[in-house]
Amino acid sequence: MLAAERIDALLACYAEALGASSGAIAQVFGFRPWARTYRVPLPWIEFHEAHAKHDHSAEILLPHPSGHSYSVFGSVRDGVTPEDNPLVPALARFGLGDACITTIHNPFGPRLFMVFYRQPGAPEFSRVEANVIRMMEPHLAKAFAMRSALAALHSDGPANDAEARRSANAHAWLVDGDFEWSPRSLPLFERTLGVGRRKLPELAALLRSEVERTTREGRGRTFRIGGLRVDIATSLRDGKDETLLLFYDAGARRPPLNAAVKLLSPQQRRIAACLVRGDTLGEIAAELSIGLETVRTHVRVIARRFGASTRAELVLRLCDA
């Protein structure tokens, strides 16, 4: 497991490098709620607090919930229009007219928006700086994902999300086709699948196949094998792209849906089943052939009925038979 201190150092390195580039600031909109949810290194928080006047998270993200897919990564002055990305006019209202926008796909929490922009009076981005941003962004996103993964495994965070983030029963690294199992993996496999050490190679082959298929088909970041649920996180470790798998006892964490789900409308019941399966809002909209805003509205209604304030809490209550 990559030590938290090494990830902290990696984040601090990126913050310093991007923050010192011709007045460019790497700002993560929605960072503060994320920092409250996960244990974030103090230097990284201080870096963002130093630029607090530039952090308009609430104003920008409120009209654009994290469930929406923002795939644009380009300079606003290079012709990115509001039709391409609804965040553009929101950024423009705060004078951030020269910015590179991207999305951090966080497997362990809400999606974040990362924006690289100029400080007032600083030179425009050069082609070299734009290329540096494009090269560094995926590594920074992976560092964020890894920070979240560690928090999911070892956390004493806020009570409302603590159960969901502590519930990973075991983990493993998938490196060049080979697995590095955590000590808790084998007892979990024996309990959920009846797989002992002798059948571990057979399970490893099945896991490799499922990871490849899930990633290739874009079916989200979660799949199940019998009573075992697996969450996938592509991460950065020792300078290499590797895959971290989190294992859950699905029998304990994913029981039959709560009987109260029957009180929902047929469409809301289908949405609830998709949420429990781990689908994103966009994937739910595509599967049910309905609009994204319709999905959001139904999810809010379901959350209110079950008294849930976060998606993790909602899924847990939907499964509380």
What confidence score (pLDDT) does residue 178 get? 84
Burial 76-113 (b: 16+ CB within 10 A, else e): beeebeeeebebbebbeeeebebbbbbbbbbbbbbbbb
**Per-residue pLDDT reduced to its tens digit, 160-202:** 233 333 445 777 777 777 888 877 788 888 877 767 788 788 8
Nearest-5° angle of CA 76, CA 80, CA 81?
A: 115
Top pLDDT among 151 and 263 is at 263
Summarize the confidence of residues 111-132 as an average pLDDT: 55
Residue 297: pLDDT over 90: yes
What confidence score (pLDDT) does residue 101 get? 54
| CB 174 within 8 Å of CB 230 | no
**Per-residue pLDDT reduced to its tens digit, 184-195:** 788 888 877 767
What confidence score (pLDDT) does residue 2 get? 43
Enter the pTM of the model.
0.34
* Phi, psi (deg, nearest 5) at residue 110: -65, 150
Residue 289: pLDDT over 80: yes
**Cα Rg of the chain, angstroms:** 21
| Helix/strand/coil (H/E/C) assignment for every residue in the chain | CCCHHHHHHHHHHHHHHHHCCCCEEEEEECHHHHHHHCCCCHHHHHHHHHCHHHCCHHHHHCCCCCCCCCCCCCEHHHCCCCCCCCHHHHHHHCCCCCEEEEEECCCCCCCEEEEEEECCCCCCCCHHHHHHHHHHHHHHHHHHHHHHHHHHHCCCCCHHHHHHHHCCCEEEEEECCEEEECCCHHHHHHHHHCCCHHHHHHHHHHHHHHHHHHHHHCCCCEEEECCEEEEEEEEEECCEEEEEEEEEEHHHHCCCCCHHHHHCCHHHHHHHHHHHHCCCHHHHHHHHCCCHHHHHHHHHHHHHHCCCCCHHHHHHHHCCC
- Among candidate residues 189, 31, 176, 198, the one with its CA nearest the CA of residue 110: 31
Q: Is 84 left (phi over 0), alpha (psi -120 to 50) or beta?
A: alpha
Q: How confident is the model at residue 129 (pLDDT cuts 50, 70, 90)?
A: low
Which amino acid does the sequence have at 285?
A
Strands 99-104 and 222-225: unpaired
**Per-residue pLDDT reduced to its tens digit, 204-253:** 888 888 888 776 665 556 777 766 778 776 544 444 556 778 787 766 44
**Per-residue pLDDT reduced to its tens digit, 3-62:** 445 545 555 555 554 444 433 444 444 444 444 444 444 444 554 555 445 444 444 444
C-alpha 310/C-alpha 321 separation (Å) is: 19
Other CB atoms within a 10 A radius of the CB of residue 119 amount to 12
Residues forming a β-bridge with 102 = 114
Residues forming a β-bridge with 234 = 243
